[in-house]
Structure 1
Amino acid sequence: MRLIIAIIAGLITGSLTIWAVQSLGHLFYPMPADVDPNDLDELATYVQTAPFMALFFVVLSYGSGAFVSGFTAAYIARGRALLAVSICMILFLVQSLFMMSSLPTPIWFWVLGILSWGLALLGMHFNQKRLNG
């Protein structure tokens, strides 16, 4: 039961972190008013012309979400931390791959977007370091 709670908590905290960082990115780099973020074609057109930092905030959100997700899942899962963190990491990665394949994102975004989910392991490491003193 602890493993399931750890995974759910990791997914929730990771998702909230992603949302918060992306919201911050939208404050600094708002989408044009005529772009409907719910229209995939309009969003794809915007992504092709978006400023680098607007896209980089998305990658930052993935990395931040991964770290928080890994830390939280490891904290709750304790002895089964690696399994909980790995499941969270894989689920987020699959979601990211779906989004990246749905939009015309540049190659650097793919590389950093995929690698950023490895930060979940860093979150797990920080949690274990905290526990071990």
Structure 2
Amino acid sequence: MGRTILGMLVGVVVAVAVIMAVQSIGHRFYPLPAGLDMANPAHEGAFAAFIAALPLPGKLMVLASWALGSFIGALAAAKVARHQTAAALLVALVVIAAVMGMIVTVPHPTWLSVAGVLLPIPLALFAVRLVYRRTTLPRVP
């Protein structure tokens, strides 16, 4: 049980770090407007306008951050945890909760919202499959 909890924690930390890293790369290509403070609730309208005006590649970077965060976080969780599927799915659920929080706070295009909510679970299950396959293959003498 302890390894599973540790795997969940590691997976969530890795997922958040990957999401932040990919989004910071995206911000290099599509920087936020000067003076925009995303922590300030008064700036939500300006952030919503920024998202609406973001070109397709920028929106794809946002989706890539959510997808990669979910996949790599689930992969890390599955490698550490004894109950690999449970740990990976928890990471996916945390990513889904974060995505839903973001799309409720700031309107995103429908396709981006749907993809952000639907992709994490299959990606987490794929990560488990990769880890499980590696741990169960017979060793070659």
TM-score, normalised to structure 2, is 0.86
Spell out the pairing of 1:87-106 with structure 2 (5 A cutoff). Answer: 87-106=90-109
Whole-Å separation in 2 of the counterparts to 1:3 and 1:55: 34
| Alpha-carbon separation, structure 2, partners of 1:70 and 1:27 | 26
Q: CA deviation at 1:34?
A: 4.3
Deviation at 1:37, TM superposition (A): 2.8
Instruction: Report which of the two has the higher share of helix.
Output: 1
Counterpart in 1 of 2:3?
A: 2
SS of equivalent to 1:71: helix
**Among 96, 116, 120, the residue aligned to 2:124:** 120
Partner amino acid for 2:18?
A: T
Between 86-95 and 18-27, the greater mean CA deviation after superposition: 86-95
Q: Which of 59, 63, 82 in structure 1 is aligned with 2:63?
A: 59
> How far does residue 116 in structure 1 lie from its aligned partner after superposition?
2.2
Distance 2:24 2:116 in 1: 17
User: Residue deviations 1:77-105, cap 9 Å, x none?
Assistant: 13x11111111211221111111111111
Where has structure 1 moved over 6 Å in runs of 4 or more? none
CA distance in 2, matches of 1:34, 1:93: 29
Decide whether aligned partners of structure 1 residues 14 and 2 sit closer, same or farther in structure 2, where only a CA change above 3 A counts: same
- Listed as ranges, the gaps of 5+ residues in structure 2 are none
Q: TM-score, normalized by length of structure 1?
A: 0.91
Equivalent position SS for 2:38: coil
Q: Tell me whether 117-126 or 99-108 shows the greater mean CA deviation.
A: 117-126
Superposition RMSD in Å: 1.4
Q: Quote the residue 1:29 is aligned against.
A: 30
Aligned residues: 132
1:129 positional shift: 2.0
